[in-house]
Structures are given as C-alpha cells and as structure tokens.
Amino acid sequence: DIQMTQSPSSLSASVGDRVTITCRASQDIRNHLAWFQQKPGKAPQSLIYDASTLQSGVPSKFSGSGSGTDFTLTISSLQPEDSATYYCQQHHNYPRTFGQGTKVEIK
Amino acid sequence: EVQLLESGGGLVQPGGSLRLSCAASGFTFSSYAMSWVRQAPTKGLEWVSSISGSGGSSYYEDAVKGRFTISRDNSKNTLYLQMNYLGAEDTAIYYCVKDSGARIVGARGYFDYWGQGALVTVSS
C-alpha cells in the first residue's frame, strides 16, 4: 500500500498569510494526488485533483503542485473561512490512501 | 446539482449487521464509480470500498474484506454497503463518494462529490 505523510500536523497562521502544506507519498504516484478540505462537523469537500487541477467552484487562492512523491497545497492569502483540516489522498492505485490531515487554525 | 444522501446508520451491537444506502441524483449514476469512505471519531479519513459504474468490479480495504459488501442498483440510482460482523473499530461516519470515471480497475479516477455521511455506532 502507498503511505501518505502530511506535514505539519497542525499550523496556526494569521489572516492574509501564505500557507503551505506538504504531502509525501511512499512511492511514485506521478501526479495522481488530490486534496480535500473538511470543516468541523461537515463532510469533506474536494479541492484539487491531478496534483494541480482545481475542482469546479474552488477559489483560485488554493493551488497545488508537485509530482512523483512530493506535493504541496498552498493557500495564497489565508482567510477565516479557511480554518479546516486538509487531507491529501493518492488516486494512483487501490487501496486509495489518505494523509493523516493538517489542521489549519487562524491566530 | 449532484446530491448524495446516505441513510441506514444507527446503533448496532458488536457482531451485528447494518446496511447503508446512498441515494444519488443530479448525474448519470451508472456512468460513475462510487466509493465509501469512513471517519472514526476524532480520526482521519479512511477509504473502505469502491465499485465500478457497471457494478462488475469492486475493491475493499483489508480491514473490511470478507465482512463488508459494496453493491449498487443502477435502476434505483442507489449505492449500498452491507456491513456484517461489526466491531467497535467500525464505529465511524460513513461517506458516500462519487468518482470522476466509470472504471476502477487500472483507473486513476478521483473523488469529486461527497455525501453528508451516516453515523454507525457499534456498542453494547
């Protein structure tokens, strides 16, 4: 199985800050990497697939990059509504595996 | 508008069974693979099972293989998860998730839409 490791596990940043979350796969997954946002008490929402393609309706302040084993999710200007837990997931093969999550809080 | 509505969750005793349903609308159901993803209390997301659009192929995570069965009725636009021999470790919110493509074998499809989830609690 492919292991997905996110860092950091949590972070606290100010409104307007640029925030970056990293995700590392245990083997080459090309660009088959997705990102999800989950707010407390809510279902996850899809943000990005194929490492850098935004899902329909996702604001452009979110961006993704990377290929192979190393990937990043960037929020260009953090806003209060971005407070959530973010998960990466590989869609390269089965079993589909998720990272452990990164909790983003607003200072 | 894509909508996924789970039902069938609840409290069940250890060793018991439960069947979850997911009613889909807003897209051609038979053209897309579907999955179940669960989340134990205060934990992260865990993929459980996937089924192709035709229903001819399915995958399971090792922890549920032999206990859970994924199926679909394309005439009713409904996805199912039959869960048997439930244990405390199966306590979680179960999400129904739509895939971007029809196939799962050798496919690189991604999750695009999620339901609101159904809570399953296994306890005596």
pLDDT digits (tens, 9 = 90+) for B32-77: 999 999 999 999 999 999 999 999 999 999 999 999 999 999 999 9
Minimum Cα–Cα distance from B65: chain A residue: A95
In angstroms, the separation between the Cα of residue B96 and the nearest Cα of chain A is 10
- pLDDT bracket for residue A32 (50, 70, 90): very high
Residue A34 with chain B: CB contacts under 8 Å: 110-111
Which residue type does B96 have? C
Residue A99 with chain B: CB contacts under 8 Å: 44
Determine contact, residues A56/A62, Cβ cutoff 8 Å.
no
Q: Span A44-53, mean pLDDT?
A: 98
Length of chain B: 124
- pLDDT bracket for residue A85 (50, 70, 90): very high
What pairing do the DSSP bridges indicate for beta strands B68-73 and A19-25?
Answer: unpaired
In angstroms, the separation between the Cα of residue B88 and the nearest Cα of chain A is 21
| Residue B30 burial class via C-beta count within 10 angstroms: exposed 0-12, middle 13-18, buried 19 and up | middle
In angstroms, the separation between the Cα of residue A18 and the nearest Cα of chain B is 24
CB pair distance less than 8 Å for A89 and B61: no
- Which of B70, B77, B71 shows the shortest CA–CA distance to B30? B77
Rounded mean pLDDT of chain B? Answer: 97
- pLDDT bracket for residue A81 (50, 70, 90): very high
Q: Which of A43, A89, A101 has the CB atom closest to B114's CB atom?
A: A43
Minimum Cα–Cα distance from A40: chain B residue: B42
- Percent of chain B past pLDDT 90, that is, above it, reads 97
Determine contact, residues A36/A97, Cβ cutoff 8 Å.
no
- pLDDT of residue B106 exceeding 90, the answer is no
- pLDDT bracket for residue B110 (50, 70, 90): very high
B101 in contact with chain A, both atoms CB, cutoff 8 A? no
Determine contact, residues A104/A82, Cβ cutoff 8 Å.
yes
Determine contact, residues A38/A48, Cβ cutoff 8 Å.
no
CB pair distance less than 8 Å for A94 and B116: no
Q: Span A74-91, mean pLDDT?
A: 97
- pLDDT of residue A40 exceeding 90, the answer is yes
**CA A1 remoteness from chain centre:** 20
- pLDDT bracket for residue B92 (50, 70, 90): very high
Structure letter (DSSP) for residue B100 = S
Q: Which of B47, B61, B117 has the CB atom closest to A43's CB atom?
A: B117
